[in-house]
Structure 1
Amino acid sequence: MKKFKTNLIALFGITILFTSCTDDLNVVPEDDDIFLSEAFFSNPASYRQGIAGVYANLSLTGLTGAGSSNISGLDAGTSQYGRCLWYLQNLSTDEVIWSYENDPGVAEIQRNTWTSNNPIVLGMFARSMAQVAFCNEYLRQTTSEKLSGRGVNDATLLANISDYRNEARALRALAYYHLMDMYGKAAFNTENDIVGQAGPEYNRQQLFTFIESELTAIAPNLKAPRTNEYGRVDRAFAWMILAKMYLNAEVYIGQNKYNECATMCENIIGGGYVLEDNYLHNFTADNHTSSEMIFSLQSDGNVTQNFGPTTVMINGQVGSVEQNGVSMGVGAGGWGGALRLRKQFVEKFNGGAFATDERNTIISGSRPIDIANIAIQAQGHVLAKYSNRTSTGTPGVNQTFVDTDFPLFRLADVYLMYAECAVRGASTATTSQALTYVNALRERANNNSSNNISAGDLTLDFLLDERSRELHWEGHRRQDLIRFNKYTNNYNWAWKGNGQSGISIAPHFKLFPIPATSLQANPNLTQNTGY
């Protein structure tokens, strides 16, 4: 049921939304008189088209095909929302490595040597700020005054527009959440500010306060969990962002908010989500039917062709030796072994306990576990987690651009967040319930209870590893390692800090730099310490 997905990009034809020039990377629509103009809103259907365009920024990079980009100076590979998110949250960690280090920015990200000139660092910042700008403009154009002036008085349409406005606010909160997490600051603008005006710098505390208040205000007015169209946000989406913020609050604002995180987790769990019987069905071409999917970044081999995270991962995980792409619904050779696994991730599945674990899709064969030379695609094990085939084996409609959505938020993460809150002492979470949730994941992975854990096994070290086993390549790992104080020091992995066996890196790498170009465009922004 990908109804909104089809509309999403068909309606991306509201070209004005994304033809706004971003030469100065202020990423604010410049042609305000055309963008969502009065002529555009002469058709009542345009309000739905407008919000579809806002959603589209999470999947597409431009109007003229998968290789186009509407952010000046950046190509599609370094400006797609989900791909940049995946690069920064996973490629910079112990889970994965990219073979082709001539690709702009990649070597510096995966070797933890980036600077403020890195194009991927710029791509995520610019795409997130573009999302803020698009949300703001939709909100400007749908005020009660604007609607009244256009003679919009149909009760059903007004109710729908009210829903769209709340969704735009939630999507803006998502963008600011990612900016807060990865950069620690951002230029702040809302619909109440003048278009094109350089926003003031908001630090983590200010962003945290805004996002929290915004999501708390709109959550009751968002549709109940699992009642909106697939691909649109609902109340659980707001709860999920809040849960992630509260889980990481000690990192963000120096405050313990595990009680609040556990409460948000309970809200989501009570929303009707159910674990998929088969773990891997969360990563297939029909994963939009998953009963545990809370929100995904959408992909479609025909309608939403993009070089986003799932297209990259499915083509990239095909082994250069194995030539196993057909089994995953893409070309036999995929992208020639672009992605491989770092040794430390592979070792998290060591032992007989993981021999039948469905989460263990690691292909070893005759491959060495160590990657002595990143350019040699035959070194290092590979993965087969994501697939461009449906849960029944039908291939996607395109052998390059996949149908598989990127699972930004799903129920398994909520179970593990609740468990972590319990271990960290939250009074609103119990060890017995945490154990039930963790063992539900392990029973699902093994089809039996033989690999269940006991209360004594439920430690922080166990949970950090279990999160990687359950959630690898889903955009969480960097954040988790920072929260557990194992990102810059206390834990090394292959090629961390540009050392083959890994070395500690400076503390300032817990944040990415504000891109040099963005500093030039907005004099209110300041650089993060250490860059």
Structure 2
Amino acid sequence: EIKTYRAEARFLRALSYWHALDLFRSVPFVTEADAVGAFFPEQISPEDLFAYIETELREAAQDMVPPRQNEYGRADQAAAWTLLAKLYLNAEVYIGQPRYTECIEYCKKVIDAGYTLEPEYEHLFLADNHLSSETIFSVAFDGVNTRTWGGTTFLVHAAVGGNMNPADFGIDGGWGGIRTTSAIVEKFPAVGGGTVLVAPNEGNTASYDRIYVPGAYQGWDPANPNTVLTSPNGDGVYEGYMWFDAGTEFKFTQMPNWDVNWGDNEPDGILDPNGANISVAEAGFYHLVVDLNDLTYSLTPTTWGVIGSATPNGWDSDIDMTWDPNEGALVATLSLTAGEIKFRANDDWALNYGDNGADGILERDGANITIPSAGTYIIKLYLDKPDYTYAIERPAFDKRALFFTDGQTLEINDISEFTEGYAVTKWKNVTRDGLPGSDLTFCDTDFPMFRLADVYLMYAEAVLRGGTGGDLAQALDYVNQVRARAYGDASGHITQDELTLDFILDERARELLWEGHRRTDLIRFGRFSETTYLWPWKGGVPEGRSVPAFRDVYPIPAADLAANPNLVQNPGY
């Protein structure tokens, strides 16, 4: 077993040197070839360090345990292959030479090794994530045996604060520190913890005065609580909307009984006590207004639509909604873009509703309603009685949008305030059965440094960048496998034309959020420095600003420079 242990040790050393290459480029270099004892290590060039890591990994892999055959937490051949794929994917950054063909070669080795995507994305980041068949190499943590204030203990605790319940994360308290900016949130098509972006809100409906509308359409039942009109102002004027089939007859009652009821004998819009049934000639969605002060009523047919910048028609014309009797609402399923909408009657602005408080309660001539991003939405309009309300749902959504928004603002104006910026709920010290880890302070959650979804995305990127040995159809399939897990079905699939490098960068942001890849990705894509690609607080200012290219690498720490006269600081520092 000594040969295997030695190969694993060489892998771990190569992994550390890869981190050093990625972060600093030129670093002090020591191997077993150096004499034993104290000396000042020489600084190795990025090119030589790259070559060393490459050789070490290729050689070590030959003596390592085959993929998925080692005990959990120890590296095997697939771990070495994944690290080689990462080295080659970033070679153009590290040494100025593209090595995308080699990246594809080693991605294929890993993909063919039998790993499978974890069916439930969230299970990858729980206290029992050692059960996952997706993980290629993990940094193992244990709340009893490997206690540390870093690692996943930091990732779990530091992300909890504000209105978040620490018990939901399997910990004894949050540190109220890290959260994300709106630039990451906007990468996801829907945020809010589920398919419902806006839920119906009955508001004060239950407290309003009401009258009842029994009729043939509901069995002539004056006690039916769902067929009423309400008076929000308590002034004797009642209103609401109802769907009536052609020829429907009805009356109004003061209470949920027939003691006091009104009809219309003429009919002339004037209510008559115990009068004749009121009827509608044509089917439709009618706006009913009853004024008991002068015993009058109106019955106006309406058609409703969605209008706004988020719709295909923009603000020029409505997209009609249809009545759904099972839902008791007007419904439309629409393909929308990021923008705004309102509800409008009869293709005219005389009667329209918006939402002033973004609280699900509609107001006449109210504020535009925000659609956060492109996608398919189910819009429901509930106009049976005031308070009028609505719902916006995504039939399928990206389940990787693991954000806590209650009490949090989207934008960050003060970085010291935890409640500014959405919190990320990805990492938890809870098992897939909902049980807390072995300790409430120190977490059991392992850190999956390498996993299959990352390899799928690396393969696709290397193919798009011109590497040989792979193909676009296979790349698209791998990307869509990742997205099928995220959406739960094929609704998140993309087409060949949509598979671009820009898409890959965004998809890596969604899939690998808070797994330590983003900086390296942005540098590889030329979006980290000297670019118009900005995000809030980039460069230390709220609106974001470009930074000089020397920021692509970190400075050699001052303590190292003082201790070793052979070291030269990175340019710009």
Q: CA deviation at 1:366?
A: 4.2
1:214 is paired with a residue of what secondary structure?
Answer: helix
Structure 1 distance, partners of 2:106, 2:39, is 35
Q: Answer whether contact 2:101 2:469 (CA < 8 A) is retained.
A: yes
2:562 is paired with a residue of what secondary structure?
Answer: helix
Letter in structure 1 aligned against 2:423: V
**CA offset digits 1:442-487 (Å, max 9, x no partner):** 1111111011000011011111000010001001100000000000
Structure 1 distance, partners of 2:407, 2:567, is 50
Letter in structure 2 aligned against 1:254: G
Q: CA deviation at 1:339?
A: 1.4
* 1:343 and 2:343 correspond: no
Letter in structure 2 aligned against 1:348: K
Q: CA deviation at 1:428?
A: 1.3
Structure 2 distance, partners of 1:514, 1:381, is 33
* 1:184 and 2:25 correspond: yes
1:217 is paired with a residue of what secondary structure?
Answer: helix
Picking from 477, 480, 500, the partner of 2:542 is 500
Letter in structure 2 aligned against 1:349: F
Q: Name the structure where strand makes up a greater proportion of residues.
A: 2
1:463 is paired with a residue of what secondary structure?
Answer: helix
CA RMSD of aligned residues (A): 1.2
Alignment of 1:126-525 (within 5 A): 160-195=1-36, 196-320=38-162, 322-331=163-172, 333-335=173-175, 337-350=176-189, 351=373, 353=375, 356-488=397-529, 489-525=531-567
Letter in structure 2 aligned against 1:515: P
Q: Answer whether contact 2:407 2:419 (CA < 8 A) is retained.
A: no
2:492 is paired with a residue of what secondary structure?
Answer: coil
Letter in structure 1 aligned against 2:188: F
Q: CA deviation at 1:214?
A: 1.0
Letter in structure 2 aligned against 1:436: D
Q: CA deviation at 1:319?
A: 3.1
Structure 1 distance, partners of 2:44, 2:409, is 47
**CA offset digits 1:158-182 (Å, max 9, x no partner):** xx11111111111110011000110
Of residues 193-202 and 345-354 in structure 1, the stretch that sits farther from structure 2 once superposed is: 345-354
Of residues 196-205 and 261-270 in structure 1, the stretch that sits farther from structure 2 once superposed is: 196-205
Q: CA deviation at 1:193?
A: 0.9
Q: Answer whether contact 2:402 2:426 (CA < 8 A) is retained.
A: yes
Q: CA deviation at 1:390?
A: 0.9
TM-score normalised by structure 2 residue count:
0.63
1:520 is paired with a residue of what secondary structure?
Answer: helix
Structure 2 distance, partners of 1:245, 1:223, is 21
Q: CA deviation at 1:307?
A: 1.3
Structure 1 distance, partners of 2:150, 2:499, is 35
Structure 1 distance, partners of 2:410, 2:18, is 36
Q: CA deviation at 1:352?
A: 6.0
Q: Answer whether contact 2:157 2:174 (CA < 8 A) is retained.
A: yes
Structure 1 distance, partners of 2:161, 2:185, is 15
Q: CA deviation at 1:218?
A: 1.6
Question: Runs (4+) of structure 1 moved beyond 3 Å?
Answer: 352-355
Q: CA deviation at 1:343?
A: 1.1
**CA offset digits 1:41-100 (Å, max 9, x no partner):** xxxxxxxxxxxxxxxxxxxxxxxxxxxxxxxxxxxxxxxxxxxxxxxxxxxxxxxxxxxx
2:137 is paired with a residue of what secondary structure?
Answer: strand
Letter in structure 2 aligned against 1:205: E
Gaps of at least 5 residues in structure 2 are 190-372, 376-393
2:404 is paired with a residue of what secondary structure?
Answer: coil
TM-score normalised by structure 1 residue count:
0.68
Q: Answer whether contact 2:399 2:487 (CA < 8 A) is retained.
A: yes
**CA offset digits 1:504-524 (Å, max 9, x no partner):** 111100010111111122222
Structure 1 distance, partners of 2:21, 2:502, is 26
Q: CA deviation at 1:356?
A: 2.9
Q: Answer whether contact 2:463 2:475 (CA < 8 A) is retained.
A: yes
Structure 2 distance, partners of 1:208, 1:166, is 18
Q: Name the structure where helix makes up a greater proportion of residues.
A: 1
Structure exhibiting the larger radius of gyration computed from Cα positions: 2
Q: CA deviation at 1:365?
A: 2.7
Structure 2 distance, partners of 1:445, 1:422, is 23
Letter in structure 1 aligned against 2:448: P
Structure 2 distance, partners of 1:178, 1:317, is 24
Structure 1 distance, partners of 2:79, 2:524, is 22
* 1:527 and 2:569 correspond: yes
Structure 2 distance, partners of 1:440, 1:308, is 32
Structure 2 distance, partners of 1:402, 1:366, is 26
**CA offset digits 1:87-143 (Å, max 9, x no partner):** xxxxxxxxxxxxxxxxxxxxxxxxxxxxxxxxxxxxxxxxxxxxxxxxxxxxxxxxx
Letter in structure 1 aligned against 2:43: E
Structure 2 distance, partners of 1:358, 1:366, is 21
Q: CA deviation at 1:503?
A: 0.7
Number of residues of Structure 1 aligned to a counterpart in Structure 2: 369
2:419 is paired with a residue of what secondary structure?
Answer: coil
Structure 2 distance, partners of 1:176, 1:197, is 19
1:397 is paired with a residue of what secondary structure?
Answer: coil
Gaps of at least 5 residues in structure 1 are 1-159
Structure 1 distance, partners of 2:10, 2:418, is 43
**CA offset digits 1:264-318 (Å, max 9, x no partner):** 0000011111101101111010111110111111111111110123111111221
1:296 is paired with a residue of what secondary structure?
Answer: strand
